[in-house]
Amino acid sequence: MATSTVQLAVQSRLLSYGIGESTELVPAPPANRGKRVVCRLRKLELEEMNFSGRSRKIDQEVSKRTHRLKALSASGISLIQTAKRVPTYLFRTDIGGQVKVLVEKTNGKYKVLVEVLPSELSDAHAELVMVWGLFRSDASCFMPLDLNRHGADGKSSTIETPFVQGPSDKVTVELDFEASLAPFYISFYMKSQLVSDMKSSEIRSHRNTTFVVPVGLTSGHPAPLGLSCQPDGTMNFALFSRSAKSVVLCLYDDISVEKPSLEIDLDPYVNRSGDIWHAALDCSLPIKTYGYRCKVATSGKEELVLLDPYSKVIRSVIPRQGGSKLRPKYLGELCKEPGYDWSVDVPPSLHMEKLIIYRLNVTEFTKDGSSKLPDDLAGTFSGITEKWSHFKHLGVNAILLEPIFPFEEQKGPYFPSHFFSPGNMHGRSGDPLSVIKSMKDMVKKLHANGIEIFLEVVFTHTAEDAPLMHVDNSSYYSIKGGDLNIQYALNCNYPIVQQMILDCLRYWVIEFHIDGFVFINASSLLKGFHGEIQSRPPLVEAIAFDPILSKVKIIADYWDALANDSKEILFPHWRKWAEINTRFCDDIRDFLRGKGLLSSLATRLCGSGDIFSGGRGPAFSFNYIARNFGLTLVDLVSFSSSEVASELSWNCGEEGPTTNNIVLETRLKQVRNFLFILFISLGVPVLNMGDECGQSSRGSPVHGARKSFDWSTLKTGFGIQTTQFISFLTSLRMRRSDLLQKRTFLKEENIQWHGSDQSPPKWDDPSSRFLAMTLKADAEDSQTSVSDNGGDLFVAFNSAGESESVILPPPPTDMVWHRLVDTALPFPEFFAEKGTPVEDGLVAYEMKSHSCLLFEAQKLAEI
- What is the mean predicted confidence (pLDDT) over 252-271? 85
CB 199 within 8 A of CB 259: no
CB 480 within 8 A of CB 486: yes
3-state secondary structure of 690: coil
Range list of H helices, 49-150 = none
What's the pLDDT band for 756 if we cut at 50, 70, 90? Answer: very high
What is the CA 138 to chain-centroid distance, rounded? 34
Parallel, antiparallel or unpaired: strands 244-252 and 184-194? unpaired
Compute the average pLDDT of residues 678-704.
Answer: 95
d(CA 257, CA 325): 13
For 450-505, the pLDDT digits (tens) are 999 999 999 999 998 899 989 998 899 986 644 445 668 999 999 999 999 999 99
Average pLDDT, the chain: 84
Quick check: 10 pLDDT over 50?
Answer: no
pLDDT per position as a tens digit, 340-351: 999 999 999 999
- Cα atoms in the Cβ-side hemisphere of radius 13 Å centred on 334: 25
Q: Has residue 48 got a pLDDT over 60?
A: no
| % of the chain exceeding 70 in pLDDT | 81
The per-residue pLDDT for 106 is 85
Distance of CA 464 to the CA centre of its chain: 16
If residue 589 lies in a helix (H) or strand (E), which one and from where to where? helix 582-592
**Is residue 807 left, alpha or beta, with left meaning phi > 0 and alpha meaning psi from -120 to 50?**
beta
pLDDT at position 33: 33
Helix or strand holding residue 278 (H, E): strand 276-281
User: What does R_g of the chain's alpha carbons equal in angstroms?
Assistant: 36
Contacts for 433 with CB less than 8 Å, ≥ 6 apart: 313, 333, 335, 338
CB 684 within 8 A of CB 353: yes
Provide the residue count of the chain. Answer: 863
Evaluate whether 217 touches 264 at the Cβ level (below 8 Å): yes
Distance CA 1, CA 203 (A): 9
- 593, 608, 664: which is closest to 634 by C-alpha? 664
Pairing of strands 357-360, 684-688: parallel
Distance CA(782)–CA(807), nearest Å, equals 28
**Residue 552 clears pLDDT 80, i.e. is over it:** yes
| Mean pLDDT computed over 206-213 | 88
Rounded Cα distance, 173 and 183, in Å: 20
Query: pLDDT at position 126, please?
Result: 60
Distances (CA, A) of 546 to 346, 512, 526, 541: 21, 18, 17, 8
Bridge partners (DSSP) of residue 316 are 330
Instruction: Say which residues have a Cβ less than 8 Å from residue 862's Cβ, sequence separation at least 6.
Output: 787
The rounded distance, in Å, linking the Cα atoms of 325 and 471 is 17
Average pLDDT for residues 70-98, to the nearest whole number? 63
- Of the candidates 801, 577, 831, which has an alpha carbon nearest to the alpha carbon of residue 680? 831
pLDDT score of 2 more than 70 = no
> Which SS3 state, helix, strand or coil, does residue 621 take?
strand
The pTM (predicted TM-score) of the whole model is 0.85
Note the pLDDT tens digit of each residue in 640-669.
999 999 999 999 999 999 999 999 999 999
Phi/psi for 33 (5° steps) reads -115, 170
Those residues with Cβ within 8 angstroms of residue 231's Cβ, 6 or more apart along the chain or in another chain = none
- CA gap 543, 293 in Å, rounded: 32
Q: Are the beta carbons of 88 and 82 closer than 8 angstroms?
A: yes
Per-residue model confidence (pLDDT) at position 258: 78
| Predicted local confidence at residue 265, as pLDDT | 86
Residue 42: what pLDDT? 33
Residue 7 has pLDDT above 80, yes or no: no
524: burial class by Cβ within 10 Å (0-12, 13-18, 19+)? Answer: buried
Q: Which of 186-190, 255-259, 496-500, 558-562 has the highest mean pLDDT?
A: 496-500
What are phi and psi for residue 445, nearest 5 degrees? -65, -45
* pLDDT above 50 for 23: no
